[in-house]
A and B are shown apart, each in its own frame.
Chain A
Amino acid sequence: MTMVSTEASPAPDITFAHMLAGVAGMIAAALLLVWQPDALLTRWHPATLAAVHLFALGGLMPVMLGALFQFVPVACGLSLPRWGRLDGWILVVLMLGSLTLAGSFLQGSTLGFGLAGVLLLGSLLSVGARLAWALGRQAGPGELARTLLRSVLALAGTVSLASLLLGILIRGWQLPLLAIVDWHALWGIAGWMGGLIASVASMVVPMFHVTDAYPRRWFWLSRLVLMALLLGTFASWLAWGWLVSVAVCVLAVAAVSFGILTVRRVHASKRGEHDAFHWGWLGVTVLAVAMGGIGALAHFSPDARWGVAFGILALAGLGGGTVSVMVYRIVPFLIWLHWQRVNKARIRLPMLHQIVPERWQGVQLSVEGLSVLLLCAGAFFPALVLPAACGMALGKLGQWILLARAMRDYAQRLPVLKALPPRVAASVRL
């Protein structure tokens, strides 16, 4: 058995680089909608497809991977294989792949799709294989490692369907395009992103909000998600409409159940603080409930605009919102922890809520939340898309500045703390 502490997880620098790159990717996606605000009139608009993939692959993905580099060793006691500078290069390849894919959607370039496919498959498969290898070695009976592993399998499913779509776009393969597009999106949203959020939340919410644990039946329900995705994909391929509806309903029930279970826990939190972390989690769980409901509506309604609204709620709402709330915990804590470990002089360090000023966290999260709601409404009232996209771009730019300033302070203060002489003081022991 190998047990590690946060000291054994990758240096915070690589996690910080992933987070800054990811937030920059989300800014780029928002700016794309500022440039082409009529994109949300249909999900098939090239700018919509470009913005969606830029947000998901160049935005959410790097932040989630950066967080996993820290979370997996701590939560599962597993040491991820260290690849040194290669981690940085994988991030560069992922970002280049995302930009190339977005550009290919805008220009309809088959050559671009091929290049993007190589870059993205290379980076995602290497990261996914590394996570799967580490999680598969989990020594203990941990439920968390199993749920994380299911999310990695869902990432493999998403990438597999993406490969088929690239085959259709580049080679003209005769495959059911609509079914593959729909289920590629659902594998990514419900399986990878949703699965990751739910599995992390099932541990983080009870511990960090000081609440009751999630009930056993929730873990039972979450196991059905992967089966529903498999079932729905094949049923959709074979045009078995009723079975597709069953699978969609299972996914919707899982999203709504997760939202309700989480919102009840956060509301009853015994942590003793009603700060941005508290309100942010309440916000994203309400979005999870709305996403489940609107997802079901999108499936059963002939009005295609519900599908656009679902996609916005899922990616910018649940995905982007969760990422925003979590980076305001992860980044200040990593900075504080690495300062504290070299603070032998025991001088007073900035507090967690001062490292990224809490007031600005609240302002940024509010701007982002309002932008998501406006963007969602923009699916029905196109005039709202431009102000919503401007709000999202500004909100994410503000977040990038807040994080970058905190990381700069970290880098400047660390050598100063290391150079200070130690203070001799005995800690209290019982």
Chain B
Amino acid sequence: MTTSSFDKYLMADHRACDQQLGALRKQAGAGDWAAARSSSQALQHDVLAHFAAEEDVLFPAFEASTGMRGGPTQVMRMEHEEARLLLEDLLAAVFGQDADGVRGHGEALLILLQQHNMKEENILYPTALAYAGSSAPELTAQIIQRREAV
């Protein structure tokens, strides 16, 4: 994935993860558990890699440039933790071939991620980009490198 700045890159990554989750739910709904298992692992990898790029690169940069250490980024980290737990539940449902569990955990994860993404896309990313100023290209490169590291 290539793009001009980290906000657009991370937003595109959000959309890609949403589509992966949708595909996984379709596969589980159709009883194609082999495909669902593969999709769930890809989804878990991508979501966790996205979180890692934010927690290891973007949030520290945001905290350093704005001086805000206990506010927005703390909330985002807490919500990442909630999503990690839900991902575990979703994967357990997929590997247990529990269609009802996939529906329930999948929908909860979608809503949880969307309300989280809204805050990042509407507030955190634009603010981080504004504070980054001329160092935005360098920050973007570091975020992409971390996101695509594994």
Contacts and interface: CB of A to CB of B under 8 A. Distances in A.
A340 B82 contact: yes
B108 A428 contact: no
Interface residues of A, number: 41
Given A1-B123, A208-B110, A271 B22 contact: yes
Interface residues of B, number: 52
Nearest to A269: B22
Contacts of B124: 3, 77
B115 interface: yes
B117 to A, nearest CB: 7
Nearest to A2: B71
Contact of A210 (B22, B52, B79, B103): B22
Interface in B101-150: 101, 103-108, 110-112, 114-115, 117-119, 122-124, 126-127, 150
B64 interface: no
B32 interface: no
B51 A210 contact: no
Contact of B48 (A1, A208, A329, A428): A428
B88 A428 contact: yes
A353 interface: yes
A352 B108 contact: yes
Contacts of A272: 21-26, 29, 106
A224 interface: no
A4 B111 CA distance: 17
Contacts of A273: 25, 29, 103, 106-107
Contact of B44 (A74, A270, A428): A428
A336 B21 CA distance: 19
Contacts of A270: 18-19, 22-23
A3 B111 contact: no
Contacts of B68: 1
Interface string A317-337: 000000000000100010011
A5 B105 contact: no
A316 interface: no
Interface in A332-349: 333, 336-337, 340-341, 346
Contact of B105 (A1, A3, A351): A351
Contact of B108 (A2, A269, A271, A351): A351
Contacts of A6: 115
Contacts of B119: 3-5, 74-75, 77
A428 B48 CA distance: 8
A207 B81 contact: no
A361 to B, nearest CB: 13
B75 A4 contact: yes
Nearest to A203: B118
Contacts of A4: 75, 119
Contacts of A329: 111
B122 A351 contact: no
Interface stretch (A82-90, A136-144, A159-167): A136-144
Interface in B25-50: 25-26, 29, 44-45, 48-49
B78 interface: yes
Interface in A31-88: 74-77
A262 B3 CA distance: 28
A110 interface: no
12 contacts: A3-B71, A3-B75, A5-B75, A5-B78, A76-B123, A208-B110, A210-B110, A272-B23, A273-B29, A273-B106, A353-B104, A429-B48
